[in-house]
Amino acid sequence: MPELPELQAHAERLTAAWSGAVLERFAALSVTAMKTVVPDPAGAHGQRLVAVGRRGKYLLIDFGVLTFAVHLMQGGRLKPDARQAPRPKNAIARWRFTDGRALLLTEAGREHRAGVWTDPVVATAGLGPEADQVRTAELAELFAAHPMRLHGFLRDQACIAGLGRRLANEVCHRAGLSPFAPTARLGPPGAERVVAAIGACVAEGLAYERGRADMSSSAERPGAVHGRAGQPCPVCGGTVRAVTYASYTVNYCPSCQTGGKVLADNTTSRFLR
């Protein structure tokens, strides 16, 4: 799933290419497209695109009088629609502009979870602070208020917004902390390490994404441990390990993060610091 760096860079590309364009018509192309319909999306017709912003993992398409919130989920993409076919493959929604151009929201796969909100407040309700803006004292308070494993905390959008599975792996590694470290025990020193790691990982991802013309795929994104099980850790040369769950995989380096201990591959593994 695209995370903060990919979505931020994509929002910047879309703003540069589309700001000022006048919306002719918005059309939902799938029965699963609309997550809210109040206010009426037609209210944006005839309005100029101000900018495309981001909140957490949502893209915010701002037409001044109305802002569309878009969540790409795992397989969604928002791209220029050169062909503008009547029934494009995997299509969810289309924004057609008076200059003849169009943006198309698509979602590959069968999950049909990507969608559009016409009320961004509803869409983003419950999100925690932006991951790249949280500071040490605030994060320490959040750790204490949400006792859980660090990896789960970083993925939980209600705790902090914008990170996902890949960056959770990378942040834990960069901070030198076990993905299973209990947040309640990390305190300000742990929060300081995590804040620094988030900043470094997000900056690395943004630099890479801003050098591209389109959004990267997961396999292309920079990192030290994510998706690298069995490979050498670029920091210490040790073997990157994995803890596999039904819907995601935790990658980590025992030498860098757990004092050499290998985490048991089940949800009842003992916490390691």
Residue 267 has pLDDT above 70, yes or no: no
Residue pair 232/256 in contact (Cβ under 8 Å)? The answer is: no
**Percent with pLDDT over 70 in the chain:** 97
Mean pLDDT, rounded, for 106-122:
93
Angle at 32 between CA 167 and CA 74, to 5 degrees: 15
Distance CA(271)–CA(227), nearest Å, equals 22
Q: What is the pLDDT of residue 139?
A: 98
pLDDT grade, residue 266 (50/70/90)?
Answer: low
Q: What is the pLDDT of residue 49?
A: 98
Q: What is the pLDDT of residue 151?
A: 98
Q: What is the pLDDT of residue 137?
A: 98
- CB burial of residue 121 (10 Å; 0-12, 13-18, 19+): exposed
Residue 26 has pLDDT above 50, yes or no: yes
- CB burial of residue 25 (10 Å; 0-12, 13-18, 19+): middle
Q: What class, spelled out in words, does domain 136-257 have in CATH?
A: mainly alpha
Q: What pLDDT digit, counting tens, does each position of 144-153 carry?
A: 999 999 999 9
Burial 155-194 (b: 16+ CB within 10 A, else e): bbbebbbbbbbbbbbbbbbbbebbbbbbbeebeeebbbbb
Structural domain boundaries of the chain? 4-124, 136-257
Q: What is the pLDDT of residue 132?
A: 97
Place of tokens 């909100």: 117
CATH topology of domain 4-124: N-terminal domain of MutM-like DNA repair proteins (3.20.190)
pLDDT grade, residue 41 (50/70/90)?
Answer: very high
Which of the residue ranges 109-113, 173-177, 211-215, 260-264 would you say has the lowest mean pLDDT? 109-113
Mean pLDDT, rounded, for 184-193:
98
